[in-house]
Amino acid sequence: MYLTFDDGPGGATAAILDVLRAHDAKATFFAVGKNLAARPGPARRALAEGHAVAAHTWSHPNLTGLGPTALAGELDRSVAAVRDVGSDSRCLRPPYGAIDDPVRQALRARDLRPVLWNVDSSDWRRPGARATADRLVRDAYPGAVVLLHDGGGDRSETVAALRIALPELRTEGYRLRPVPGC
C-alpha cells in the first residue's frame, strides 16, 4: 500500500514525518514546486528518512487548461525544484488528477511518469480525524495508492488520522512504502 501526500511541503509535513517514522511507514510526497523552493527542509528530511519526493507542478494549476508554454513552465520548474532538494524522481502527480493528451505528451517528452491515486482519503474536506482514519482502513487493499495532503491548508486532522490508521493498517499486515519508481 502506498501513502502519498500532495500540496506540501506545508506546516504539517514535519508532524506527518514524525508519525510515519513512529510506525515504520514510508510514503511519497508530491511537492508543489513553489512550496518546495520556500520550504526545502521537510523534503530533505523526507528523503533522508527513506521517503520519495516527486513533482506536483510549480503552482498547482489544472494542467489541462494551460497552453504549451505555461504547461512547460509548470513541469520544468517543478522538476527543477524537486532536483534541487536532492530527489531524482521522474514522477509527477497532476493537480486534481486532471490529465489529457497534451499533458501526457508534455510528460512523455520530459520522461515523466504521471502518478494518480485509487483511494481518496478526502482529508482535504476535513471530515474529522476518525472519519479519515476509518476511510483509510476501510478502503485499504494491497497496492492501493492513497491520496492524502501535507499542504494546502490546516492538515492537523490528517496528522491525527494517521496516528489512528497506521497502527490498524500495520495490524492488518500492510507494508507502507513509497510508490515504486518514484
pLDDT in tens, 123-157: 999 999 999 999 999 999 999 999 999 999 999 99
Of the candidates 148, 35, 41, the residue with the CA atom closest to the CA atom of residue 86: 41
Indicate if 6 belongs to the active site: yes
Tell me the C-alpha distance between 9 and 111, whole Å.
24
What pLDDT is recorded for position 29? 99
- The catalytic residue among 6, 7, 123, 150 is 6
Domains in the chain: ranges and CATH: 2-171 (3.20.20.370)
Average pLDDT for the chain: 98
CA 50 to chain centre: 14
pLDDT in tens, 76-100: 999 999 999 999 999 999 999 999 9
Of the candidates 59, 39, 27, 56, the residue with the CA atom closest to the CA atom of residue 177: 27
- The catalytic residue among 51, 56, 149, 150 is 149
* Entry pTM: 0.97
Tell me the C-alpha distance between 166 and 25, whole Å.
8
Assess contact for 94 and 103: CB atoms under 8 A.
yes
pLDDT in tens, 44-73: 999 999 999 999 999 999 999 999 999 999
What pLDDT is recorded for position 173? 97
Count of CB atoms within 10 A of residue 76's CB?
A: 15
Amino acid letter, residue 60: H
Tell me the C-alpha distance between 30 and 7, whole Å.
7
The partner residues of 117 in beta bridges, in order of sequence, read none
